[in-house]
């Protein structure tokens, strides 16, 4: 099985051949169609996490071997439907079900984990706290950001992917985000 990674943020991909470190661009994992017992043990993952948005799914293009070196393109739906991306991004690929004569499949997926980068427009003017903490969040997480000015400063406004003067403020993590906290000298 050939697996193409679209994000270096995933830590590993687990599939029929085991777990492999994710590569920023591409990692090749070979599936032997003669391992029928292993293929029979796989099942497609469908549960409430899909409906909740913690898992994403997309169609997978497949190449199917018919005989010898004759390859025919087929739709993913006819063989095994979907690729699932884990909401916690600890395992990029969950179990897949596919036809035994499938030799090579190319899979592409996007990370469900995004980074929130916070910068301070002026040095030593204050700090920012994040709730939840960490700076790396699964898709759909709402992060509360709170600016705390140092003595002699006052919070002024947010800029970047978060704008306005509300403090604390909230930001939805649906992509990588960068925000800047702006303080002013207290009057």
Convert the pLDDT of each residue in 158-187 to its tens digit.
Answer: 999 999 999 999 999 988 899 999 999 988
The per-residue pLDDT of the chain, averaged, comes to: 57
**% residues pLDDT > 70 (the chain):** 40
Give the CA radius of gyration of the chain. Answer: 22
Q: Domain extents for the chain?
A: 2-109, 113-185
Residue 89, helix vs strand vs coil? coil
Question: pLDDT tens-digit profile of 110-162?
Answer: 456 788 999 998 888 999 999 999 888 887 899 999 999 999 999 999 999 99
The pLDDT of residue 11 is above 60 = no
**First and final C-alpha spacing in the chain:** 64
pTM for the structure as a whole: 0.45
Q: Among positive and negative, which fits the CA dihedral 87, 92, 95, 99?
A: positive
Predicted pLDDT of residue 111:
54
């Amino acid at each position: 099985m050939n697996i193409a990674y679209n994000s270096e943020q995933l830590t590993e991909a687990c599939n029929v051949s085991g777990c492999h470190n994710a590569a920023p661009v591409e990692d090749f994992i070979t599936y032997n169609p003669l391992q029928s017992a292993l293929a029979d043990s796989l099942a497609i993952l469908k549960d409430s996490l899909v409906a909740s948005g913690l898992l994403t799914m997309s169609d997978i293009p497949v190449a199917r071997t018919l005989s010898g070196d004759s390859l025919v393109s087929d739709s993913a739906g006819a063989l095994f439907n979907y690729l699932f991306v884990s909401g916690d991004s600890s395992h990029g690929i969950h179990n897949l079900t596919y036809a035994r004569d499938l030799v090579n499949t190319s899979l592409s997926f996007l990370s469900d984990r995004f980074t929130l980068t916070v910068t301070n427009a002026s040095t030593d003017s204050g700090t920012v706290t994040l709730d939840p903490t960490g700076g790396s969040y699964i898709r759909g997480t709402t992060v509360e950001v709170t600016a705390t000015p140092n003595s002699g400063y006052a919070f002024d406004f947010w800029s970047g992917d978060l704008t306005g003067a509300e403090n604390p403020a909230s930001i939805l993590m649906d992509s990588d985000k960068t925000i800047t906290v702006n303080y002013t000298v207290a009057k």
